[in-house]
Amino acid sequence: MKILVRWLLLAAALLLVAYLYPGVAITSFGSAMIAAFVIGVFNTLLRPILVLLTLPVTLLTLGLFLFVINALMFWAAAQVLDGFAVNGFVAALIGSLIYSLIGMVIDVAMERLFSRPSAA
């Protein structure tokens, strides 16, 4: 149940990103759901490999290169899907930053919503 709610909220977050920033476009909620799923898969499978391969650059930039990796994941999802478009790398960077911030808020809210009270 928690995964389904999180997925729906992240899809809504993508619609909010498209509303807030004109460089990102999503045609429907269905497209947003598919895009949220694909972004999640890319972040699960590809992101760790990219982080490992770019570790020297990431260390040299004190971690700022991770923003570039996030933008690449966001942009790659837009390239693979119909109904989800990003207008260039800068739009992917800004869109991924907004999406990440909303995602953090969702994660905190989900943790508080689904946390179990302690028995003690």
The one-digit pLDDT tens for each residue of the chain (120 residues) are 888 999 999 999 999 999 999 999 999 999 999 999 999 999 999 999 999 999 999 999 999 999 999 999 999 999 999 999 999 999 999 999 999 999 999 999 999 888 876 655
Helical residues (DSSP H) of 1-120, grouped into ranges: 2-20, 29-45, 47-53, 55-60, 65-80, 89-114
Quick one: CA torsion of 106, 4, 81, 16, rounded to 10 degrees? Answer: -30
pTM of the model: 0.88
Contact 23, 86 (CB under 8 A): yes
Q: What is the pLDDT of residue 113?
A: 85
Which candidate, 45, 27, 46, places its Cα nearest to that of 35? Answer: 27
